[in-house]
Amino acid sequence: MSSQADLMDKVVALAKRRGFIFQSSEIYGGLSGAWDYGPYGVELKRNVKNAWWQSVVHWREDMVGLDAAILMHPKTWEASGHIANFADMMVDCKNPKCSGRFRPDQLKDHKCPKCGGTEFTEPRAFNLMLKTSVGAMEDSSSVVYLRPETAQGIFVNFQNVIDSTHRKLSFGIAQTGKSFRNEITPGNFTFRTREFEQMEIEYFCRPEQALAKYEEWIQSRFSWYIDLGIKKENLKLRVHDKDELAHYAAGCTDVEYNFPFGWSELEGIANRGDYDLKQHAKFSGKDLQYQDPVTLEKFFPHVIEPSGGCDRATLAFMVDAYHEETVNDTLRVVMKFHPRLAPIKVAVLPLLKKNEGIVALAKKIKSELQKDIVCVYDDTAAIGKLYRRQDEVGTVFCVTVDVQSLEDKQVTVRHRDTMQQERIPVENLHRYLKEKLI
């Protein structure tokens, strides 16, 4: 297995080689802090989002979904405090040949990471909000912001959800979607970017329930990563110190993953109190209190917020799945994704691409399987190379059609992790694969 020192380089190289992740606008030299998901990456990321949505919405009785617009009324960000307070402190290197810009916490031994200089400007606030304009005129009245988080779309729709679904406390609203932050120093591949996708929940409850619900969500979210294949030793919970908390927060706990560049946040679970709904009620003039349908009591619910990064989770699943081993004196690289996350579940491979009977049967099998199993057909190389290619993208099973298949109506099924092979009747193949994948 790769050491931590070179594991990241190998994952990044595989991501480009096998079509998981490309540099955005690469033919023009790329754009810092932006990445494109290729044919296998988009499937992996979609599977991560689907697994999250199933877990937090479809498999629970107390959750609904939402898809709020990226562009929101500017007052939203006044109420949330983002316009006034959403900033990182930054310093500039005074070396005229460098002029690097960094957060102070990135300076080790007070030295510039780019040139080694030791003289910097005084720290100043740098707002991370990205602006744009709407309408025909570009002036102060047309300014809107690309949302820096998806959470506010949930808060401003709280009353709409109550009115349309008649939900009673406790319940939550889940959302996935793009967010944008003008990060000073994006880096570590897709870990810190300027355009990213979030998976967020705002869970509304009575004030006296908040602590218990907070603890429940911490354990639920920690277990989710383990259930989908992350090694438990690569995960930990970090409770925020009091001086890290927002003034309104009663607590926050991060789920951290041991990336090759160190322990870093995958997801934060925050006990936000009733701050958000109160702020939006104040700035909008609307009554956003919850009214108990039995007692008619009115109050602002408290909010528990599990907020994770889809791109960060996808990167963690890739790093954790990367595996190297020696087989017959040659290196085998295999991405051991959980079957639910694997971009491709089954590859159908003809042993001889010039044999019309084999090709016809292989294509027929693929056509039948693809109705409810994500699969591919590939005849562009010798069978050994095809196996290695599928190993590198994490395909769970390879189905090989050979000359004997035309006679006995059986195919060879190869298991990704063990490389063991079984002969399975074609008529039983679909049921066999579905049972194994489940």
319: confidence class by pLDDT, cuts 50, 70, 90:
very high
pLDDT at 416 over 80: yes
What does the angle CA 185 – CA 75 – CA 160 come to, to the nearest 5 degrees?
A: 110
171 and 293 assigned to the same domain = yes
Mean pLDDT confidence for 31-37: 92
Q: How far apart are CA 21 and CA 405, in angstroms?
A: 37
280 and 370 assigned to the same domain = no
283 and 378 assigned to the same domain = no
245 and 353 assigned to the same domain = no
314 and 229 assigned to the same domain = yes
Tokens matching residue 150: 């998806």
pLDDT of residue 123: 78
Within a domain: 129: no
Tokens matching residue 342: 């694997």
pLDDT of residue 307: 97
Within a domain: 35: yes
Inter-residue contact 75 to 69 (CB < 8 Å): no
pLDDT at 1 over 60: no
CATH number, domain at 262?
3.30.930.10
pLDDT, tens digit, for every residue of 86-116? 666 778 888 888 867 777 777 777 888 878 8
Within a domain: 123: no
Q: How far apart are CA 248 and CA 251, in angstroms?
A: 9
Inter-residue contact 48 to 313 (CB < 8 Å): yes
pLDDT of residue 243: 87
Inter-residue contact 278 to 166 (CB < 8 Å): no
258 and 382 assigned to the same domain = no
Mean pLDDT confidence for 384-403: 96
358 and 265 assigned to the same domain = no
Within a domain: 296: yes
152 and 52 assigned to the same domain = yes
133: confidence class by pLDDT, cuts 50, 70, 90:
confident
Give 270's strand partners.
252, 305
Within a domain: 348: yes
65 and 157 assigned to the same domain = yes
| Mean pLDDT, all residues of the chain | 92
Within a domain: 88: no
pLDDT of residue 179: 94
285 and 350 assigned to the same domain = no
Write down which residue in 303, 319, 335 finishes a domain.
Answer: 319
Angle between helices 426-437 and 356-369 (to 10 degrees): 40
pLDDT of residue 89: 72
pLDDT at 2 over 60: no
388 and 243 assigned to the same domain = no
Within a domain: 364: yes
- Overall number of domains in the chain: 2
Q: Which domain holds residue 259?
A: 4-73+148-319
pTM exceeds 0.85 for this model: yes
Backbone torsion region of residue 81, taken as left when φ is above 0, otherwise alpha when ψ lies between -120 and 50, otherwise beta? left
114: three-class secondary structure by DSSP: coil
pLDDT, tens digit, for every residue of 356-384? 999 999 999 999 999 999 999 999 999 99
CATH number, domain at 390?
3.40.50.800
266 and 395 assigned to the same domain = no
Within a domain: 298: yes
Residue with more model confidence, 63 or 135: 63
